[in-house]
Structures are given as C-alpha cells and as structure tokens.
Amino acid sequence: GQQLNQSPQSMFIQEGEDVSMNCTSSSIFNTWLWYKQDPGEGPVLLIALYKAGELTSNGRLTAQFGITRKDSFLNISASIPSDVGIYFCAGQLNTGFQKLVFGTGTRLLVSP
Amino acid sequence: EAGVVQSPRYKIIEKKQPVAFWCNPISGHNTLYWYLQNLGQGPELLIRYENEEAVDDSQLPKDRFSAERLKGVDSTLKIQPAELGDSAVYLCASSLDWRAKEQFFGPGTRLTVL
C-alpha cells in the first residue's frame, strides 16, 4: 500500500539536542498527524494539524503543516531519553472518508 | 477514560492454523479500524467499520481474512488459515465517527506464524 516518505530513517543524538524530521507526499492532504510508537505498543497521537501553514506545539514538540499541503515537519527541542521511539507521520487524503496514510517512520535514539 | 483494548498481545501459531484477534474500542467511538503493521513500516488499513457495518474492506485479503463487529462495539479479526507472511502486528484503532480526524490506537497483537 501507499506509504509517505519520511526522513531521516533513523537518528542517534545526544540528550539535550534538537531534532527535526519531515514527511513528504505526492498527494495533497487536508490533515497531518504525528504519532510516536514505543516498542511493543501502538502509535500514540502527538500533534494534529488541520490547515496549510499551521504551526502547532505540544510541550517540546512543534509540528508544521506545509504550505503546499504535501509535506509536514516535526521538531523536538531539548531531547530527553524518553523521546526514544519511532515517529510516524500520517496524512489524511482530501476525500470524504478520513483515510490515514502513514509514513515509513523515523527511529530516534537518544544517548544520555 | 480507558483506551483501545486488544487481546491477545502476542500469539504464536503454526502455519495453516486459524487465529483471531479481539478489539474493544474507546467507549462512544462509532468508527473502528483494523490495521496491519509489518516490521519497519507504518500501519496500513485493512478494514473500517461504521458501527456494525464494514464500509471499507478493500485492503482486506478476503480469501483468508474476515472481520466482524456484530453489535457495533467490539470487533474480531480472523485469519484462516494463517500463512508465514501473515506475521506482523495487527493494530486496532477507533475514532468518534468517520468525520473525526484523530484516530486512537490500541497496543496491537503481535502475530508470529511458524
């Protein structure tokens, strides 16, 4: 099935560093969601974006809905060890039903 | 508020055996989704229910997979017979209704087919 392009695939950083990841698509989306998945658990919703250009924060996390509606970005500031996990973007197609298309994931490792 | 509940969390079976997964969505959520997550990939939709009606099952391999949501609450996903390639995590999610933009996921069932 269709999967969005997410980059980078993985990151290994030091505690306290800032992190940026992005998601791109050839399709236009009307909503972008960012999820975090810990090992052995389901994805947990972090941030939801509803219109082009929107910038939304959730604590140390900030996400942006790209102007073209074909991309989105997630930034994590001052990373901590519990930020470790896989981050997925998900876009909702511009149709009546809110079908989610997920990205390939960014694996984040944080060294204390 | 309780989240999406799934059971079992892990299942190991031999190929050609049947297997079933159970999901209880968040209370009041009318829309229920089953997703397949292969190793190293994001979830992919298998089937969506609006109350008890399956309204999008185009990605469900109907030769061996089936699902039901008889009373519009709990749901069961079944594979019969299982194949080696079915080894994956099966995730259930729910949302308030089909217009809701946010979906909430359960912990998943990790299936291993030997």
Whether residue A1 has pLDDT greater than 70: no
Would you state the pLDDT for residue B56?
A: 85
Surface-to-core class of residue B25, CB atoms within 10 Å of its CB (0-12 exposed, 13-18 middle, 19+ buried) = buried
| B90 Cβ under 8 Å from any chain A Cβ | no
Would you state the pLDDT for residue A99?
A: 79
Surface-to-core class of residue A112, CB atoms within 10 Å of its CB (0-12 exposed, 13-18 middle, 19+ buried) = exposed
A88 min Cα distance to partner chain B (Å): 7
Q: Which of residues 57-86 of B touch A (CB under 8 A)?
A: 59
Of residues A72, A90, A92, the one with CA closest to residue A31: A92
Would you state the pLDDT for residue A48?
A: 94
pLDDT digits (tens, 9 = 90+) for B15-73: 999 999 999 999 999 999 999 999 989 999 999 999 999 988 888 998 999 999 988 89
Whether residue B99 has pLDDT greater than 90: no
Would you state the pLDDT for residue B1?
A: 66
Would you state the pLDDT for residue A95?
A: 67
pLDDT digits (tens, 9 = 90+) for A54-99: 999 999 999 999 999 999 999 999 999 999 999 999 998 766 666 7
Round to whole Å and give the CA distance between A91 and A25.
9
Of B6, B42, B107, the CB nearest to A102: B42
Residues 6+ apart with CB under 8 A from A13: A19, A79, A108, A109, A110, A111
CA atoms within 13 A on the CB side of B52: 3
- The answer to whether residues A72 and A48 touch, using CB atoms and an 8 Å cutoff, is no
Of residues B90, B96, B92, the one with CA closest to residue B106: B92
Of residues A74, A63, A82, A75, the one with CA closest to residue A15: A82
Chain A contact set for B45 (CB, 8 A): 1, 99-100
Beta strands in B8-105 (DSSP E): 10-13, 19-24, 31-37, 44-50, 53-56, 65-68, 75-79, 88-95, 104-105
| B25 Cβ under 8 Å from any chain A Cβ | no
Whether residue A50 has pLDDT greater than 80: yes
Round to whole Å and give the CA distance between B18 and B113.
10
Question: Could you tell me the two tokens for A8?
Answer: 């980078």
Q: What is the DSSP letter of B80?
A: S
Would you state the pLDDT for residue B94?
A: 95
Q: A99 vs A53, which has greater pLDDT? A: A53
